[in-house]
């Protein structure tokens, strides 16, 4: 593995930390801002090759997140040691999520995932599993200048919004679960996201979309 590969995984690791923090879990600024030298020192072997088992981590919801999303639970992030996710790999990951009572699992893999492995994901319900290819996390898409701010609403905030504007869920514009920002935030079916945009004429304005 070249130093370029280590650089790539360092970027992926940092984005994964940012993603988990942005979902409301307790991640320190020190973790998010881990330097490349620190990454090599803490996560790599003497030859500079990243050890993916060392990159795995768990996180707990912040007090603010628990207040908004009481059902949130802990999250586990795993970096797949195999280049592709097989049924065996996914089964072991599902077992780890279930046995340790994680509410959410994130599996990051290098190349691809077999359809059979993907079909195992619902088996961990009520826990949920999100999967990302390493290239998905090379950059944090939410930091792109053209991507507006997205904020996931709590159940209470959703109820207030629908009642205030006398709306039905079917009347709201939609955002697909496969949308890159929806995947980043871990949006689930029925959840609403507030999107804040800037306008030269009207300043900031908000719109809402429901995840399907």
CATH number at residue 169: 3.90.940.20
146 and 100 in a single domain? The answer is: no
pLDDT in tens, the chain (212 residues): 457 899 999 999 999 999 999 999 999 999 999 999 999 999 999 999 999 999 999 999 999 999 999 999 999 999 999 999 999 999 999 999 999 999 999 999 999 999 999 999 999 999 999 999 999 999 999 999 999 999 999 999 999 999 999 999 999 999 999 999 999 999 999 999 999 998 878 788 999 999 99
Q: What is the structure's pLDDT at 202?
A: 77
Q: Is the peptide bond before 168 cis (omega within 30 degrees of 0)?
A: no
Q: What is the structure's pLDDT at 2?
A: 59
195 and 132 in a single domain? The answer is: no
Q: What is the structure's pLDDT at 199?
A: 81
Count of structural domains within the chain = 2
110 and 147 in a single domain? The answer is: no
Range of the domain at 157: 142-211
Q: What is the structure's pLDDT at 74?
A: 99
54 and 149 in a single domain? The answer is: no
Q: What is the structure's pLDDT at 11?
A: 98
121 and 182 in a single domain? The answer is: no
93 and 159 in a single domain? The answer is: no
How far apart CA 208 and CA 212 sit, in angstroms, is 13
CATH number at residue 134: 3.40.1340.10
| Domain C-terminal end among 120, 138, 156 | 138
131 and 207 in a single domain? The answer is: no
How far apart CA 40 and CA 13 sit, in angstroms, is 12
93 and 117 in a single domain? The answer is: yes
20 and 84 in a single domain? The answer is: yes
| Domain C-terminal end among 123, 138, 153 | 138
160 and 124 in a single domain? The answer is: no
187 and 116 in a single domain? The answer is: no
| Domain C-terminal end among 138, 168, 189 | 138
| pTM confidence score | 0.95
106 and 43 in a single domain? The answer is: yes
């Amino acid at each position: 593995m070249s130093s370029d590969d280590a650089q790539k995984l360092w970027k992926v690791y940092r984005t994964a930390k940012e993603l988990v923090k942005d979902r409301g879990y307790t991640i320190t600024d020190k973790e998010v801002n881990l330097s490349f030298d620190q990454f090599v020192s803490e996560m790599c072997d003497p030859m500079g090759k990243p050890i993916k088992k060392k990159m795995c981590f768990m996180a707990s919801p912040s007090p603010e997140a628990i207040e908004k999303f009481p059902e949130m639970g802990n999250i586990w992030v795993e970096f797949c040691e195999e280049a592709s996710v097989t049924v065996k790999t996914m089964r072991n990951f599902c077992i780890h999520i279930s046995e340790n009572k994680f509410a959410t699992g994130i599996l990051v893999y290098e190349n691809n995932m077999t359809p059979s492995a993907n079909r195992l994901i619902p088996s961990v319900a009520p826990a949920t599993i999100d999967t990302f290819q390493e290239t998905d996390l090379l950059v944090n898409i939410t930091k792109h200048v053209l991507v507006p701010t997205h904020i996931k609403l709590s159940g209470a905030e959703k109820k207030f919004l629908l009642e205030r504007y006398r709306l039905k869920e079917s009347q709201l514009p939609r955002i697909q679960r496969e949308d890159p920002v929806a995947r980043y935030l871990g949006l689930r079916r029925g959840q609403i996201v507030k999107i804040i945009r800037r306008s030269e004429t009207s300043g900031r304005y908000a719109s809402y979309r429901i995840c399907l």
